[in-house]
Amino acid sequence: MFRIINNLKNLSLDISPVVTDTFNVISVRWRRNPRKPIWKGTAKSKIFRVPPRPNIPEEERLEITRLYNKYRTEVKSINNYLTSKYNVENQQEDDKDLKQKQFEADLAACMKLNDEWNAKQKILREARTAAELQDLIKLAQEKKLITLEKRSQRLKEAEEIVKEQKELSKHFILPEMLDAEIEKSLANPVDHNFALDKEGNRIIGRETRPPLDKKVEKIRQ
Amino acid sequence: MPYKYIGRTLDHKGKTLWEIIGNLKNCGIGRVIARNMFERYPEPTFMRILEVEAHPSPEKITMDDRRRVKVLVDYTFRAKRLPEPLIIDAISYKADYKLIPKDEEANYCKGNSIPMKLMPKMIELPPLLKELVIRDNIANNEPIDKDNEIEIAYKRGPFANFRPVKENEKPDVEVTLGVGEPITPSLYKGIDLKQSSNVRHNKSQ
C-alpha cells in the first residue's frame, strides 16, 4: 500500500523505486466534529420519533443492488490481488523445499521427544502393573479364605439339622406299627367336645352330664 | 378501543419456531416450515424438521426474550437443497416462521432453481492501478502485459448460482469495469454507457 501511495504522489516520475514494505492505513470516515458520544443514548426530544421507512422504487433498488454487488466483487478482487502480491506471508510460501525441511526437522524432534516420553512411561507402567498384580493376588487369597470359612460353617449347620430330625424320627409311626397303633387309638377314643356352665367350668366330653343338684338328689332319695 | 401500534414497522410476519413446534405432535418431526421473509423470491424456500431439542423457557416471555429451540432441518433455499442438515438455534426466536399444512406441502415445495451461470475468470485492472503495475513491470524488467488482468473474487458457497469458467468453457456474460449492463436501462436515459466506458478504457491506455 505504501508503495502505491508513494507512486500516487510521484506520478510524474518515469520509473519509481520498488518498495515492498507494508503497513496498515486506517481511514476515519464521516467524522463529525463535535459529535455526541454514542454512549449518551437517544436525545430526549428524539425518543418518540419514528423514522419513516425508505421508499425506494423496485427498479432503482434492483439497479443499486447490482451496482453494489459489482463494486464489492471488484474491490475484493483487487484486494486479493494486492494481498497475494505484497503480503510477507505469501512471499515466504513460495519456498516449498524449505517448508518441507522445516516440517521434517520438526517432526523428527517431536518423534524423539515422544520416544523419550514413551520410555519413561514404560518403566512407570511396568512397576504399576506389577504392584497391581500383587494386590490382586492378595485379594484373591483373602477371598478364598472367606469362602472356605463360609463353606465349613454351612456344613456345620446342615449337620445340626440332620441331628435334630433324627431325634424327631423316634416318634414316627412306621408301616409295621400301623395296625397296632390303629387298635390302640380305637380302644382309647378321645372326645374333644366340651361345654361351659355358668361359673365358667369346662365340662369335657359330649356325653358327660353335669353333677346333679342337691334338690334332684333329694327327690330321688 | 382498538389497539394502536406505535414504532417502526416490521418485515417479519408469523410465529416463533417454538410456538409452532411446541404445539405439534412429536414436535413436528417431518413437517415443513417456511419463513415469510424468503417468500419475496419466486423460488421456494422451506425446511423439513429432522430433530428437535428444546431450550428452557425464559422466566417471563416478552418480545425481547422469547423462547428459543434447537432444530436440525433439511434446508432448501431458493429451490437449492443444502447437502447437509442445518442447525437452527440462534434465529429460532424470530417471529417469522409459518407451518405449511400437509396437503399444501407438495405444491409449496415445487419449483426449479436458477440455472448455473458461467462467469469470466479474469477482469482487467482499473486504469490507475494498471498504470502502476506496468511501471512496476518496466522497473523489474518483466513483460509489460504481466498481471494486467486479475482473477475475480466471486462469492462461493452452496447457494451461489454462478461460477467462474473452467478451461475450454465460454462464459455466458461479459464482465467489464465501469457501470456494466444495467437491469433497467430507463434509469440511464440519454447516457451512452458503451461510449463512456470506451472513452475511459482508451484514456487508461
List all residues of chain A from 22 to 51 with a beta carbon under 8 Å from chain B: 48, 50-51
Distance (Å, whole) CA B173 – CA B180: 11
Report how far apart the first and last C-alpha atoms of chain A are (Å, whole number): 157
CB contact, 8 Å: B147 with chain A?
yes
End-to-end CA distance of chain B: 72
Specify if A69 maps to a domain: yes
Q: What is the DSSP string of A154-173?
A: HHHHHHHHHHHHHHHGGGPP
Nearest CA to CA, how far is A81 from chain B (Å)? 7
pLDDT band at B144 (very low <50, low <70, confident <90, very high): confident
Report the run of H or E that residue B162 belongs to, with start and end: strand B162-164
Domain residue limits at A5: 1-30+58-94
Tell me which residue of B133, B166, B122, B172 sits closest to A73, measured CA to CA. Answer: B122
The H or E element that residue A90 is part of is helix A88-93
Contact (CB, 8 A) for B20 and B89 = no
Rounded to an integer, what distance in angstroms lies between the CA atom of residue B165 and that of residue B18? 44
Q: Which 3 state secondary structure label does DSSP give B88? A: strand
- Categorize the per-residue pLDDT at B115 as very low, low, confident or very high, splitting at 50, 70 and 90: very high
Confidence of residue A92 (pLDDT cuts 50, 70, 90): low
pLDDT at B145 over 90: no
Please determine, for residue A12, whether its predicted confidence score (pLDDT) is greater than 70.
no
B117-119/B162-164 β-pairing: parallel
Q: What percent of chain A clears pLDDT 90, i.e. is strictly above it?
A: 48
In this structure, is residue A89 part of a structural domain?
yes
Residue B49 · residue B86 · CB < 8 Å? no
Q: Which of A50, A67, A81 sits opposite B6 (nearest CB)?
A: A50
Q: Given CB atoms, is A77 within the 8 Å cutoff of chain B?
A: yes
Q: Residue A203: pLDDT above 50?
A: yes
Evaluate if residue A18 carries a pLDDT over 70: no
How many angstroms separate the CA atoms of B123 and A96, rounded? 29
pLDDT band with cut points at 50, 70 and 90 for residue B63: confident
pLDDT at A3 exceeding the cut of 60? no
Q: How far apart are CA A132 and CA A199, in angstroms?
A: 84
Domain count, chain A: 1
B179 CB neighbours in chain A (<8 A) are 67
Residue A206 maps to a domain: no
Residues in chain A closer than 8 A to B177 (CB atoms): 74
Query: What pLDDT band is residue A88 in, cutting at 50, 70 and 90?
Result: confident
| Pairwise CA distance, residues B154 & A133, whole Å | 66
Instruction: Select, from the ranges A19-28, A112-121, B122-131, the one with the highest average predicted confidence (pLDDT).
Output: A112-121
- Residue A8 confidence (pLDDT): 53
Say yes or no to pLDDT of A213 above 80.
no
A66 CB within 8 Å of a chain B CB: yes
Write the pLDDT tens digit of every residue in B69-107: 999 999 999 999 999 999 999 999 999 999 999 999 999
Residues A153, A144: Cα–Cα separation, whole Å: 14
Residues A158-186: what's their mean pLDDT? 92
Question: Which comes out higher in pLDDT, residue A3 or A153?
Answer: A153
Task: Give A77's contacts in chain B (Cβ within 8 Å).
Answer: 123, 150-153
B 150-169 near A (Cβ less than 8 A): 150-155
Burial label for B118, CB within 10 Å (0-12, 13-18, 19+), is middle
Which pLDDT does position A13 carry in this prediction? 44
Residue A195, pLDDT > 90, answer no
% of chain B beyond a pLDDT of 90: 65
Q: Which of A70, A82, A83 to mutate to test the interface with B (most CBs of B within 10 A)?
A: A70
Inter-chain CB proximity A78 and B129 less than 8 Å: yes
A6 touches chain B (CB under 8 A): no
CA dist A166 and A151 (Å) reads 23
Backbone angles phi, psi at A164, to 5 degrees: -60, -45
To which residue does cell 424470530 refer?
A: B94
Q: Do A77 and B123 touch (CB under 8 A)?
A: yes
Instruction: For residues A152-172, give the mean pLDDT.
Output: 95
Q: Give CA–CA dist B143/A13, Å, rounded.
A: 20
Per CB-CB distance under 8 Å, the chain A contacts of B140 are 18
**Chain B: closest CA distance from residue A30 (Å):** 26
Of A48-57, A119-128, B17-26, B187-196, give the lowest mean pLDDT range: B187-196
Domain assignment present for A179:
no
Q: Establish if A26 belongs to a structural domain.
A: yes
Is residue A89 scored above 90 in pLDDT? no
The pLDDT tens digits of the residues spanning A35-47 come to 777 788 888 898 8
Predicted local distance difference test score (pLDDT) of residue A115 = 97
Question: B20: helix, coil or strand?
Answer: helix
Average pLDDT over residues B42-48: 96
| Mean model confidence pLDDT for chain A | 83
Residue scoring higher pLDDT (B104 or A86): B104
Taking each helix axis as running N to C, give the angle between helix A2-9 and helix B127-139, from 0 to 180 degrees, rounded to the nearest 10: 100
Q: What is the least distance, in Å, from the CA of A49 to any CA of chain B?
A: 8
